[in-house]
Chains A and B, each alone.
Chain A
Amino acid sequence: MGDDRGRGARHLPGRAVAYAVCGAVLLSGCASMPDRGDLRDVESTPRQDTGVRVFAMPPAEDAEPSEIMQGFLEALTSDDPEYDTARKYLTADAARTWRPERSATVLANGPSVVPDHQPAGQEAADTLTYVLAGTRVATVDAQQAYAPADGSYRNRVHLAKDAKSGQWRIDALPQGVVMGKSDFQRNYTSVGKYYFASGTTVRTTGQPVAVADPVFVRSKVDPMTQVVRSLLAGPTSWLEPVVRSSFPTGTALRKGVSELAPDDQNRLTVPLNAKVSRIGPARCTEMATQLLFTLRNLTPTLESVELQAPGGHRLCDLREEAAESAAWHASAQHPENLYFLDGKHRLVRLPAAGTGTGAVPVPGPLGRGERSLRSVAVSRDERTVAGIGADATNLYVSSLEPDGRLEDPVLSSQGVTPDDRLTTPSWDAGGDLWVADRDPRDPRLYVLERGAGKPVRVTVPELPGHIRDVRVAADGARIALVVEKDGKQSLLIGRVARDQGSGDGPAVVELRSAAPDLEQITAMSWAGDSRLVAVGLEQGGVHQMRYVQVDGSALHGPAPAALSGVLSIAASEDERAPLVAYSEDDGVVRLPSGAQWQKVDKDGTAPVYPG
């Protein structure tokens, strides 16, 4: 004991100093903010929803007719799932017959309520008529397909005073709902339903090709269930002739199912009705693929879906990776290379994902610059390339093999000037090559099956003018055309009707406008399953680059940064690939995400991604 104490006393000063130093270090560490260390992942928190909600209120006692109208119109913009509150403004008969889901009319500035001018004395004291008026922007039909519209909207709403209760109620009104443009944008969201192209399969693998069919669903009212119901109900009528759904006719969600939501492992279980009970596994996989592609459009974090037959037994389940191999899906393809023509008229390529500018010539004759070209198109499997000669007269098709030869032109144009000759060609996933001849005397649209053989003329029955540019969608079921009429170029989307043995040959039918407010389209390219990027002139505006939706609806999200003098533009369906443009002043430039336009090659022209 005494010995211990003695030893402790001897060591005391040193030990005390050591402790004091340790304590001081610890304290100073605690008392200041850390400037290094603690490396870890940041978990993404979901963005807070700041959207405005309208809370529908039932009509007040003894409300004035104008208040009834106001309250009803407000209730239409609310998140009431079945419009139950809105129905309280209607008489019982009207509530029974009113079908809000029949249509949605989008007016530029919302509906104005104006009392209808009736000759005096014609109207009794207990009825009243209002007129809803406005400028139509678009309509959404019963299939939830969006269609741009114009003209004025004018509909009568008739109010009557209930004899017994003495309350004003609406007893006659148009079907569907009506609201202003910004309310529509707040309440509805666009979702692509996926079906399979009936005429196209991937040439190399035989995979079915998925086609997006955009619809609008109410974004705050159980959108997932709405989308699933809409998908099961089948494609919209415009797309219906060229696609097939793998769901048997009559397939629906099991009765009483609502509020579908993925579980905590991002897995969604979809219970179906008895129509699917005899489905084979291959068909089931296709069905699940459709569901997964569609729902990932709405919920990008979804990882797998499971189909459930009646009785709760599992039909099949599908993970995202498996879905990508089950069907070909343009926005899931990652282009490896960006192609363009360099200053020596050689076809060169550049890794699409990189940031470098060191382009290398492709193997084969075009990479050697054997012929000077005006524009090119590389097939989606990046084995074949189609080129238009420098004078736009001839279309050449060449292999990208090193020992390939440059064949004779497969198509020639008789146009007078280069601008009246062949357009830039375009490939679809099935390997068909599309090109248009702009000769004003004999304008034609051709398709070359498998990129070879005799060009087949494609009829365009409803063509309102001359085709100035053509880009076929990756799925081969839709085609984007720039049509010039009266000096204005507009962007139209047509459906590709394949020759189904009728002998009529292929046709592009039911053209509809994808960018009704853009004129003077100078360049365009597909930039997604149902999205294009277009350079054009807005009415009374300046040239601008913009994303447009194939159904003509406006898109949220920012437009690409402005660039002047764009002559052609290349985008990939894969959103990660940077946008590439050919500008008069700067040559080939590209726009990596989150950055400004960067120069790739000052002397380059005609940039393209495969397709």
Chain B
Amino acid sequence: MSGDSAATAPGRSGARPQRPVGRAAGSRWGRLFEGGLLQGGVQGSPVLRLVMRWVRRPLLPVMRLWRRNIQLRVVATTLLMSLGVVLLLGFVVIGQVRNGLLDAKVNASQSQATGGFAVARQKADEAAGGTGTAPVSGDDTETTDGRQSQNVIQWMSDLVESLSSGGAGAFDVVTLPVGDDSGGGRSPRGSGNVNPSSSVPADLRDRVNSSTTAAQSYTRIVYSNAKESQPGLVIGKQVNDPNGHPYELYYLFPLTQEEKSLSLVKGTLATAGLFVVVLLGAIAWLVVRQVVTPVRMAAGVAERLSAGRLQERMKVTGEDDIARLGEAFNKMAQNLQVKIQQMEDLSRMQRRFVSDVSHELRTPLTTVRMAADVIHEAREDFDPVTSRSAELLADQLDRFESLLADLLEISRFDAGAAALEAEPIDLREVVRRVVGGAEPLAERKGTRIRVTGDQQPVVAEADARRVERVLRNLVVNAVEHGEGRDVVVRLAAAGGAVAVAVRDYGVGLKPGEATRVFSRFWRADPARARTTGGTGLGLSIALEDARLHGGWLQAWGEPGGGSQFRLTLPRTADEPLRGSPIPLEPKDSRRNRGLDDAGLARGSQEKRATVPVQPGGGQVPPLPARASGLAAATPAVDPSALPGNGNGARVVPRPAAGARRPGDRSGPPQAADTDTGRPDRAGSEDATEPGEAFRGR
């Protein structure tokens, strides 16, 4: 954005730092600058930022694709939303199935267990009743507490076996002593390798201990052999043994089948959900493609239209909305093409008209000229008033002739008829010739013209006539507006470019004038004295000459601080320019010297100390403007002043003006006028004042 050079395409002018060719300094700034641009708002340590960068780098193409591809976005959104719907549906369905399965299982288990408890009580009653009649056959164990001694070890094992034999695999039976695990000398029993104490949860045992009703709980059934534990339902009740002692009887129902059913449902749902999601994604892709394909086609056609291929049209099939869009689009393109064609025709007609007028004026002018010359020769014999008129006539005829010549030249440029006759020339020769030619004027003005940078040959492939015309224009302008101060012509060559800068210390340019000086028939302050007549077309022609070389012609100036015009040419004719050896803003500008327009100190003391005023010297320090980063003080190239192909002049407005223009193509209209060339307006303005030449030739 600092306008010393603008090598890149105008569209990307903000993306890269620019620095003068041949200077390595400032790369540190450049890196910081680059980091700052890429990182955006990321704060924190550089390591963190590096990591962020490293993470983001592979994602960038994906994000770019995401931003650019509406089809991808729609498909991804569809996938996400259908996934959410499927998940929600899955949860609901699985929950319902689970509850249904559990309800059925719990009902069946409860009736089974209730029956089992009844059987256990009945068996205990039978055994207790049997003690009296058939005690331990024939043994004299009947004592006062004979019921106590009734053997329940075998009875209970038999009970568990008979209860569990009814449902091998469907349920298991466990008995536990009341109280803690070692209560009353009883041992836990379990069928089917169930580990009784760890399979029955402690809170269920508490509940069963404290009440006589049955209780149930879910648990994990643990097996004492290698079998894997599994979820189960356990129903327990406190029952009395034949001796009247209570014990806990539990039925354990493994939920293996229910788990299998549930996992079947889960698997089915997952499969179906996957299919649904994938199919929805595919459907969305297909549907969006139907819409997006014509839109993409329209975008392509519009791009081609904007690139100038006005005959492009959309292919329209059917009668749907897309077809209507296409028809409307095609109609618009047709109208545009017609209008543009009309305008082009008009423009061409006008140019030819100007060219024809110039030619046509030439013949009568020659006659007028000869007549005027005769009158001028004979002015001695006239009275003073007539004699003065004859002189005036001759002067104005000179002006008229040069104006006609310039008009012809411009119309040649406009018609594209200008041809470049490039050959290697030493610019020092050209400069010497120009300076020599301007010496008389300079002496008259009291101006000294200094040439620097002419120790080495400055060779470039260029058309010597055109370059000389440009330089003469610049030097004469500088002397004209130098107000008697020195004019410095600097030559430099570096990289693939050569440059000639003409510096004066005159009134300089007001803000915004740097872009306007190249306008046709543009006039500065008409009140200023003019000693030489200009046509108002000199800088326009110079700009066209520079553009013909593939070079740049740029102006810089500050009010009261003088101005500098710089011509940059490629070393070989067909090589694009990437930079200029001479900064556009001279190092002895007020801003560089730390003074603002009012002459107050702007920078710090150190800056003033380290950047002394040095009018000469080949080595150019880095632009101090860089030090202030991207601050508003940085002079900005106004791309609106640039020709379309980027090889033309770069015009830098005065940065301190605060009127920094946004870097887009919709610049201020008056700037656009300089480029598109509206000679009618400028011409109509200035034709009324033919004598008001400012910076003419």
Given contacts A50-B161, A70-B153, A134-B136, 7 further A-B contacts (CB under 8 A): A50-B168, A52-B157, A54-B157, A55-B190, A57-B187, A70-B185, A109-B151
Specify which chain B residues have a CB less than 8 angstroms from the CB of A135 in the assembled complex. 136-139
Flag if B185 contacts A48 (CB, 8 Å): no
CA distance A463 to B145 in the complex (A): 46
B519 at the interface (CB under 8 A from A): no
CA distance A50 to B180 in the complex (A): 26
- The residues in B between 129 and 159 inclusive whose CB is less than 8 angstroms from any CB of A are 136-141, 143, 145, 148-151, 153-155, 157-158
- The residues in A between 345 and 369 inclusive whose CB is less than 8 angstroms from any CB of B are none
A180 at the interface (CB under 8 A from B): yes
Flag if A53 contacts B153 (CB, 8 Å): no
Specify which chain A residues have a CB less than 8 angstroms from the CB of B168 in the assembled complex. 48, 50
Specify which chain B residues have a CB less than 8 angstroms from the CB of A78 in the assembled complex. 187
Specify which chain B residues have a CB less than 8 angstroms from the CB of A59 in the assembled complex. 182, 185
Determine the residue in chain A with the shortest Cβ distance to B157.
Answer: A52
Taking each of B151, B172, B185, B195, which has the highest tally of chain A beta carbons within 10 Å of its own beta carbon? Answer: B185
If A48-B192, A52-B189, A134-B139 touch, whether A112 touches B149 (CB-CB below 8 Å) is yes
A113 at the interface (CB under 8 A from B): yes
Cβ-defined partner of B151 (8 Å) among A48, A54, A71, A111: A111
B169 at the interface (CB under 8 A from A): yes
- The residues in A between 175 and 203 inclusive whose CB is less than 8 angstroms from any CB of B are 179-183, 186
Determine the residue in chain A with the shortest Cβ distance to B225.
Answer: A49
Chain A 16-40: CB-based contact to B (< 8 A → 1; otherwise 0): 0000000000000000000000000
B71 at the interface (CB under 8 A from A): no
Flag if B157 contacts A55 (CB, 8 Å): no
A492 at the interface (CB under 8 A from B): no
Show 9 residue pairs from A and B whose CB-CB distance is below 8 angstroms, ordered by the A residue: A48-B169, A53-B191, A55-B197, A57-B187, A59-B182, A66-B148, A71-B186, A74-B153, A112-B150
Flag if A50 contacts B192 (CB, 8 Å): yes
Q: Classify the interface of chain A: helix, strand, loop or mixed.
A: mixed
Cβ-defined partner of B149 (8 Å) among A50, A52, A75, A114: A114
Flag if B184 contacts A50 (CB, 8 Å): no
Specify which chain A residues have a CB less than 8 angstroms from the CB of B185 in the assembled complex. 59-60, 63-64, 66-72, 74
A73 at the interface (CB under 8 A from B): yes
Specify which chain A residues have a CB less than 8 angstroms from the CB of B164 in the assembled complex. 50, 52
B181 at the interface (CB under 8 A from A): yes
A172 at the interface (CB under 8 A from B): no
If A52-B157, A115-B143 touch, whether A152 touches B186 (CB-CB below 8 Å) is no
A108 at the interface (CB under 8 A from B): yes
Interface residues of A (CB under 8 A from B): 48-60, 63-64, 66-75, 77-78, 108-115, 131, 133-135, 152, 154, 179-183, 186
Q: In the assembled complex, how far is the CB of residue B199 from the closest CB belonging to chain A, in whole angstroms? A: 11
CA distance A387 to B360 in the complex (A): 160
Flag if A133 contacts B140 (CB, 8 Å): yes
Q: In the assembled complex, how far is the CB of residue A212 from the closest CB belonging to chain B, in whole angstroms? A: 29
B662 at the interface (CB under 8 A from A): no
If A48-B169, A74-B153, A77-B157 touch, whether A58 touches B182 (CB-CB below 8 Å) is yes
If A48-B168, A71-B187 touch, whether A57 touches B154 (CB-CB below 8 Å) is no
Flag if B188 contacts A55 (CB, 8 Å): yes
CA distance A51 to B193 in the complex (A): 7
CA distance A274 to B196 in the complex (A): 44
- The residues in B between 301 and 337 inclusive whose CB is less than 8 angstroms from any CB of A are none
Determine the residue in chain B with the shortest Cβ distance to A89.
Answer: B185
Determine the residue in chain A with the shortest Cβ distance to B160.
Answer: A52
Cβ-defined partner of B136 (8 Å) among A64, A68, A75, A133: A133
Closest 6 CB pairs of A and B: A67-B185, A180-B154, A70-B185, A71-B185, A60-B182, A110-B154
B230 at the interface (CB under 8 A from A): no
Specify which chain B residues have a CB less than 8 angstroms from the CB of A49 in the assembled complex. 192-193
If A134-B136, A135-B139, A180-B151 touch, whether A54 touches B187 (CB-CB below 8 Å) is yes
- The residues in B between 12 and 37 inclusive whose CB is less than 8 angstroms from any CB of A are none
Flag if B186 contacts A50 (CB, 8 Å): no
CA distance A171 to B697 in the complex (A): 137
Specify which chain A residues have a CB less than 8 angstroms from the CB of B149 in the assembled complex. 112-114
Q: In the assembled complex, how far is the CB of residue B237 from the closest CB belonging to chain A, in whole angstroms? A: 19
Interface size bucket, B side? 35 or more
Flag if A114 contacts B141 (CB, 8 Å): yes
Determine the residue in chain A with the shortest Cβ distance to B155.
Answer: A110
Specify which chain B residues have a CB less than 8 angstroms from the CB of A72 in the assembled complex. 185
Chain B 194-220: CB-based contact to A (< 8 A → 1; otherwise 0): 011100000000000000000000000
Q: In the assembled complex, how far is the CB of residue A243 from the closest CB belonging to chain B, in whole angstroms? A: 36
Q: In the assembled complex, how far is the CB of residue B249 from the closest CB belonging to chain A, in whole angstroms? A: 13
Q: In the assembled complex, how far is the CB of residue B488 from the closest CB belonging to chain A, in whole angstroms? A: 72
Flag if A70 contacts B157 (CB, 8 Å): no
Flag if B138 contacts A152 (CB, 8 Å): yes
Q: In the assembled complex, how far is the CB of residue A150 from the closest CB belonging to chain B, in whole angstroms? A: 11
Specify which chain B residues have a CB less than 8 angstroms from the CB of A58 in the assembled complex. 182
CA distance A68 to B184 in the complex (A): 8
Specify which chain A residues have a CB less than 8 angstroms from the CB of B136 in the assembled complex. 108-109, 112, 133-135
Taking each of A50, A113, A133, which has the highest tally of chain B beta carbons within 10 Å of its own beta carbon? Answer: A50
If A66-B185, A112-B141, A133-B136 touch, whether A52 touches B190 (CB-CB below 8 Å) is yes
Specify which chain B residues have a CB less than 8 angstroms from the CB of A63 in the assembled complex. 182, 185
Flag if A109 contacts B169 (CB, 8 Å): no
Specify which chain A residues have a CB less than 8 angstroms from the CB of B140 in the assembled complex. 133
Q: In the assembled complex, how far is the CB of residue A103 from the closest CB belonging to chain B, in whole angstroms? A: 19
Taking each of B153, B172, B195, which has the highest tally of chain A beta carbons within 10 Å of its own beta carbon? Answer: B153
Specify which chain B residues have a CB less than 8 angstroms from the CB of A70 in the assembled complex. 153, 184-186
If A60-B180, A70-B184, A112-B150 touch, whether A54 touches B139 (CB-CB below 8 Å) is no
Q: In the assembled complex, how far is the CB of residue A167 from the closest CB belonging to chain B, in whole angstroms? A: 12
B11 at the interface (CB under 8 A from A): no
Q: In the assembled complex, how far is the CB of residue A320 from the closest CB belonging to chain B, in whole angstroms? A: 27
Flag if A51 contacts B191 (CB, 8 Å): yes
Flag if B157 contacts A108 (CB, 8 Å): no
Determine the residue in chain B with the shortest Cβ distance to A70.
Answer: B185
Taking each of A51, A56, A113, which has the highest tally of chain B beta carbons within 10 Å of its own beta carbon? Answer: A51
- The residues in B between 555 and 580 inclusive whose CB is less than 8 angstroms from any CB of A are none
Cβ-defined partner of B161 (8 Å) among A51, A77, A134: A51
B165 at the interface (CB under 8 A from A): yes
B224 at the interface (CB under 8 A from A): yes
CA distance A141 to B192 in the complex (A): 30
CA distance A67 to B160 in the complex (A): 21
Q: In the assembled complex, how far is the CB of residue B643 from the closest CB belonging to chain A, in whole angstroms? A: 46
Specify which chain A residues have a CB less than 8 angstroms from the CB of B195 in the assembled complex. 55
Flag if B153 contacts A77 (CB, 8 Å): yes
Determine the residue in chain A with the shortest Cβ distance to B194.
Answer: A53
Flag if A57 contacts B224 (CB, 8 Å): no
Cβ-defined partner of B189 (8 Å) among A54, A113, A131: A54
Specify which chain A residues have a CB less than 8 angstroms from the CB of B172 in the assembled complex. 50
Determine the residue in chain B with the shortest Cβ distance to A115.
Answer: B143
CA distance A78 to B160 in the complex (A): 14
CA distance A525 to B536 in the complex (A): 143
Specify which chain B residues have a CB less than 8 angstroms from the CB of A182 in the assembled complex. 154, 157-158, 161
Specify which chain B residues have a CB less than 8 angstroms from the CB of A67 in the assembled complex. 184-185
Q: In the assembled complex, how far is the CB of residue B124 from the closest CB belonging to chain A, in whole angstroms? A: 16
Flag if A180 contacts B182 (CB, 8 Å): no
Taking each of B151, B155, B195, B197, which has the highest tally of chain A beta carbons within 10 Å of its own beta carbon? Answer: B151
Specify which chain B residues have a CB less than 8 angstroms from the CB of A50 in the assembled complex. 161, 164-165, 168-169, 172, 191-192
CA distance A609 to B462 in the complex (A): 130
Specify which chain A residues have a CB less than 8 angstroms from the CB of B100 in the assembled complex. none
Flag if B182 contacts A57 (CB, 8 Å): yes
B183 at the interface (CB under 8 A from A): yes
Specify which chain A residues have a CB less than 8 angstroms from the CB of B197 in the assembled complex. 55
CA distance A66 to B184 in the complex (A): 8
Chain B 31-62: CB-based contact to A (< 8 A → 1; otherwise 0): 00000000000000000000000000000000
CA distance A59 to B185 in the complex (A): 7
Q: In the assembled complex, how far is the CB of residue B686 from the closest CB belonging to chain A, in whole angstroms? A: 64
CA distance A400 to B693 in the complex (A): 154
Specify which chain B residues have a CB less than 8 angstroms from the CB of A52 in the assembled complex. 157, 160-161, 164, 189-191
